[in-house]
Structure 1
Amino acid sequence: MAVLDSPDPEPPPRGFLRTPHPVGLAWALLFFVWSMMPSLLPRVWYLQGVATGLSMITGYAIGVLIAWVIRRCGVEPEWSARTKRIGWWTLAAAAAILVPLFLALGSWWQQIIRDLVGVARAERSYYLLVLLIAVVVALLLLAAGRGIRAATAALTRLGGRWLPAPVARLGAVVLVLVLLVVLLNGALYRGLLGVAEQSAEAADHGTAEGVEQPQVPERSGSPASAEPWDSLGAEGRTFVAGGPSAERIAEVTGVPARTPIRVYAGRESADTVAGIADRVVAELERTDAFDRRVLAVVTTTGRGWVNANVASSFEYVAGGDTAIAAMQYSFLPSALSFVADRETPQVAGRALFEAVYKVWAARPEERRPKLVVFGESLGSYGGQAAFASGPDLVARTDGALLVGTPNFAEPWGRITADRDPGSPERLPVVDDGEHIRFASRPEDTELAAPWEFPRLVFWQHAGDPITWWSFDLAWHRPDWLREPLGPDVDPGMRWIPMVTFWQVTMDMVFSADVPAGFGHTYGPEAAQLWAKILNPPGWDAAATQRVENALRGG
């Protein structure tokens, strides 16, 4: 922000701080136009206003920086008063034409995206407020940037009394940067994070409507469990109380079934993540989970959420002869963990898998259940931390379903980067699909080459901003925007420096508020993927359809 208007430390001329830079304004107008272009998902008008405001101030800063560089190169044209007036009127005329035109086009493009993902159309007149919000956001950030520049200039003048000018200037910049880091990453960051965690911990003691304590011994939190019902956290209670019964599985699949095992430990059950993982393993042993046909290790998101569609479809497809192990490692919601705490999900993913794997590997091979892993979003990210690479995933599991993986996850990133030549980034092919396959839709797993066991699937929608967001979007066009776009992405989407970054950032806010099959919403189609991964004997497409219907409430 310190470059806004001028990075020179000398005192600005009178009125300078009140006069916008014409080159900066021209670039801000250009970025305004670009910000209206379609992105991955439909956005509500106020989020569009924020994205547009961020784009405008970014464009303004770029324009001012370019003007400053040109001046530093010795090019300082002397414009006449008449030329300046013509320039200002030309800029005003361009704004008068382009702003309403692209507000209208932007609202129209948003309706197209809404139709594409099956979301109800919005009132287009709200887009008139986009400009107001964008201007307010841009002005606030401009004021902040100018404030930082003014503080730097004042410190430079103060230091110049005792130090050479270059030294004073460098010292002022360093001091301001240090103060900003301390304020934002220190007191303010930790303070806000602490308040958020306390608030989330208080909310964690609640129980969702309709959720009741299970009575069957196969569930943590039941009277037979060592894990008290009240200790599981809100998401843990929802998880162990949910899922299909043996009777329901038999009704849907047409074959006898067992009661699925679901074990869970809450954040309050131990002082350390490793301690929580040990309690989960104790619950597995109590329920004889290692004698089931398939055992799943799940890394949860944020404060302990497990995708009910993925978990239940797993139990249906495996006939209830299953056990799912999961735990809560944080009180923070996923959105805050995504930004503020990326270490704990990895620690939890490693701790839980290694604790389970140790007991599983110690059993005779003929008495081991199939060992699979699954997780969504931060759960996929954290769960992958237990594995060094794709081959390690293949070597130590009997299958995996990793859903909506964030762009910063590994080994997902290395697997994607090392994909077979000619395969797209949004649907990589790895080693001809021998073990690992990527899918936006279940049918995407159908490749010409044979699919060997174990089978692992990365399930990621082409329009999921959680998967495609990264800081690199600001200055680098990714392959998924160079290649043909996915069928659930507006064909008019284009990569624009900085603008696309802010657009996708805003797309993440409501990425799960779209129908299943789009964005970050992964639904009953999980049954098709589990059927492919587990390949149970006698299973057919009709059985899969019945499971999907059951998950949809049919």
Structure 2
Amino acid sequence: MGIPGQLLVLLRAHAGRFWRELSVGGVAGALTFFCFSMTPSLLPREWYLQGVASGICTVLGYAVGTFLGALVRRLGFRGLHHARHRVIANRVLLGLAIVLIPLFGVLGARWQLQVRELVRADTDDPNYYALVLLIAFVLARILLALARFLRWSARALGRFGGRWIPVPIAKAVAAVLVTVAVVLLLTDTLGPALLRAANNSFSLTDQGTADGVQQPTDPDRSGSPASLVSWDDLGREGRSFVATGPSTADISAFTGAPALAPVRVYAGLESADGLQQQADLVVRELQRTGGFDRSVLVVATSTGRGWINQVAAAALEYMWGGDTAIAGMQYSTMPSPVAFVVDTATPPQAGRILFDAVHAVWQTLPVDDRPRLITMGESLGSFGSQGAFDGLADVTAESDGSVWAGTPSFTPLWERATADRDPGSPEQVPVLDDCAVVCFSAAQGDIPAEATPKVVYLQHVNDPVVWWSGDLLFNRPDWLDETPQEGRSTTMTWIPLVTFWQVTTDMVFSSAMPDGYGHHYALELVDAFGAVVPPDGWSAGEAERLRQVLSSVGTGG
């Protein structure tokens, strides 16, 4: 027998031994959850992400099935006590697996195609669903092995402790000790190590400059020769922000009148020592460039790595003929998904510090000679920007309005506004007092033409960043009980444990969706700013013209 034959024999032996060691209830649960994992969610999933989601769900299903099996046995049912009955049950499960796994593979591929068409994504995408099973099996095998190791550790420790104390108490103490050890390992050892590695990696990326981005010569930009901020200290996203945007010629071509050069000021992590010092530097840059003399002054809170939506900035600059000043600063080198997990304290802290620093100078100006002060942010930037305020009443009292896009569901202001929606109003697109103060918009046209809200929340019904929550693990959210708004799959349903991991994997490529879907916000920002801070004479026709201009230069973030 050759080497390939020997390997096949070993694999068969391993598979047989592994199969016999599995719990019948666990296998039933694993098969059920694997099939559930193939159902559609908010966005289309790449085949390898489907494999990850299916692997995690399969292990969770195995745990649920094993627990229920043990519970049934405790209640006195011994249907699988005899080996013959167990063999029959295993054969039935094997037959079901042979039928259901290919069936749900085909159904899953069809569901993903339907979701791709729904969000106008590329439908000519290779879906290697045959590999989903392989990825799911390997990942499930690894996770199950880890779980079994922890169980073995707890049992061994319990037997050891049982020499001196009652066995039930020893087992309970052992389980607690193993749990605490795992938590400490993750939080005090692996967590900090991974965070340091991530910071080092992303710091190297932050030192680079995007293709085509060059140091500005306009004195109205940070990083220019006239600036108080060094070009090299701005960070990758800061350099892109200050060096791009519409020129005065571009703006004049849109407005038909002479334009001012828009002010963009920014401070990177290396620009000053600490968030307060960065904010003070931004204020000095605003004073140097005459930002407090413009008609509109924007405090923009960036995402994790310092990104500010260029379409949002350009939309305001076109609308106001360049008579704007936008101020931002960097508070991290980590992308939002990483910062989202490891650091949710810094974004609101940075948002408040920057706003307070700008507001302190702004409020000293004559009331009739102040610029209109607004705030904006997207994703983690929206979460951070809202940290500047104690409530929506504070927004209206301290500023002239806010535009927040793709707000994470754990943002306190967003949570309160959503909870206070009018009775019968859907959580997907809440309505509060006919948009008198707060207006939610899921798509172009959602903001009434006559509305003049102080706050606009942009949130797509299929944006996983907005709808992700730990509550998805065990609680059905209101938005999944509601009739799906346009853009959300009508076949999506809530499944305990499974939906959480589906929405989690949806977030990975949510920003890569076409404009208006997922976590990609661009042209709808025109209507948002047109409602919160409209220039004189602004109309629906002007808004449509601006959308065409922004579309012609691209809307990617």
Q: Could you tell me the TM-score, scaled by structure 2's length?
A: 0.94
Letter of the structure 2 residue corresponding to residue 548 of structure 1? R
2:271 aligned residue: 269
Question: 1:199, 1:106 → 2: CA distance?
Answer: 36
Deviation at 1:276, TM superposition (A): 0.8
2:496 aligned residue: 497
Deviations 1:118-171 (A, max 9, x none): 112245661111111111111111111100000000111111122221332222
Letter of the structure 1 residue corresponding to residue 478 of structure 2? D
Letter of the structure 2 residue corresponding to residue 543 of structure 1? E
Question: 1:253, 1:534 → 2: CA distance?
Answer: 17
Question: 1:182, 1:83 → 2: CA distance?
Answer: 43
Deviation at 1:353, TM superposition (A): 0.6
Question: 2:179, 2:534 → 1: CA distance?
Answer: 57
1:451 aligned residue: 451
> Does the 8 A contact of 2:422 with 2:431 survive in 1?
yes
> Does the 8 A contact of 1:469 with 1:501 survive in 2?
yes
Percent sequence identity over aligned pairs: 49
1:539 aligned residue: 538
Tell me which of 187, 190, 194 is aligned to 2:189: 187
Query: Which range moves more in the overlay, 379-388 or 543-552?
Result: 543-552
1:372 aligned residue: 374
> Does the 8 A contact of 1:315 with 1:322 survive in 2?
yes
Tell me which of 93, 117, 120 is aligned to 2:119: 117
Deviations 1:358-414 (A, max 9, x none): 111111211211001100000000010111112222222212110000111121011
Query: Which range moves more in the overlay, 160-169 or 378-387?
Result: 160-169
1:415 aligned residue: 417
Question: 1:261, 1:252 → 2: CA distance?
Answer: 18
> Does the 8 A contact of 1:111 with 1:122 survive in 2?
no
> Does the 8 A contact of 1:474 with 1:498 survive in 2?
yes
Deviations 1:453-492 (A, max 9, x none): x521000100000000011011111111000112111111
1:476 aligned residue: 475
Question: 1:77, 1:97 → 2: CA distance?
Answer: 25
Q: How does 1:234-245 map to 2 (within 5 A)?
A: 234-245=236-247
Pairwise CA RMSD: 1.6
1:10 aligned residue: none
> Does the 8 A contact of 1:349 with 1:386 survive in 2?
yes
Tell me which of 127, 130, 134 is aligned to 1:128: 130
Deviations 1:67-112 (A, max 9, x none): 1222333443464444333222211111111111110010011111
Deviations 1:407-444 (A, max 9, x none): 11121011101111011001111233211100011311
- 3-state DSSP of counterpart to 2:185: helix
Question: 1:128, 1:503 → 2: CA distance?
Answer: 19
Question: 1:134, 1:481 → 2: CA distance?
Answer: 26
Question: 2:122, 2:247 → 1: CA distance?
Answer: 35
> Does the 8 A contact of 1:253 with 1:546 survive in 2?
no
2:284 aligned residue: 282
Query: Which range moves more in the overlay, 263-272 or 465-474?
Result: 263-272
1:553 aligned residue: 552
Q: Could you tell me the TM-score, scaled by structure 1's length?
A: 0.94
> Does the 8 A contact of 1:304 with 1:329 survive in 2?
yes
Q: How does 1:61-460 map to 2 (within 5 A)?
A: 61-77=63-79, 79-122=81-124, 126-446=128-448, 451-452=451-452, 455-460=454-459
Inter-CA distance 161–347: structure 2 relative to 1 (3 Å threshold): same
Tell me which of 3, 24, 27 is aligned to 2:26: 24
> Does the 8 A contact of 2:451 with 2:531 survive in 1?
no
- 3-state DSSP of counterpart to 1:408: coil
Letter of the structure 1 residue corresponding to residue 550 of structure 2? L
Letter of the structure 1 residue corresponding to residue 473 of structure 2? A
Query: Which range moves more in the overlay, 30-39 or 168-177?
Result: 168-177
Could you tell me which runs of 5 or more consecutive residues in structure 2 were left unpaired when the two chains were aligned.
1-16
Question: Is 2:509 the counterpart of 1:510?
Answer: yes
Deviation at 1:282, TM superposition (A): 0.9
Question: 2:542, 2:19 → 1: CA distance?
Answer: 69
- 3-state DSSP of counterpart to 1:509: coil
> Does the 8 A contact of 1:300 with 1:375 survive in 2?
yes
- 3-state DSSP of counterpart to 2:279: helix
Letter of the structure 1 residue corresponding to residue 480 of structure 2? L
> Does the 8 A contact of 2:80 with 2:86 survive in 1?
no
1:9 aligned residue: none
Question: 1:200, 1:123 → 2: CA distance?
Answer: 30
Letter of the structure 1 residue corresponding to residue 323 of structure 2? D
Inter-CA distance 120–451: structure 2 relative to 1 (3 Å threshold): closer
How many aligned positions are there?
537
Question: 1:511, 1:224 → 2: CA distance?
Answer: 39
Question: 1:220, 1:16 → 2: CA distance?
Answer: 62
Question: 1:166, 1:31 → 2: CA distance?
Answer: 32
- 3-state DSSP of counterpart to 2:412: coil
Could you tell me which runs of 5 or more consecutive residues in structure 1 were left unpaired when the two chains were aligned.
1-14
- 3-state DSSP of counterpart to 2:265: strand
2:466 aligned residue: 467
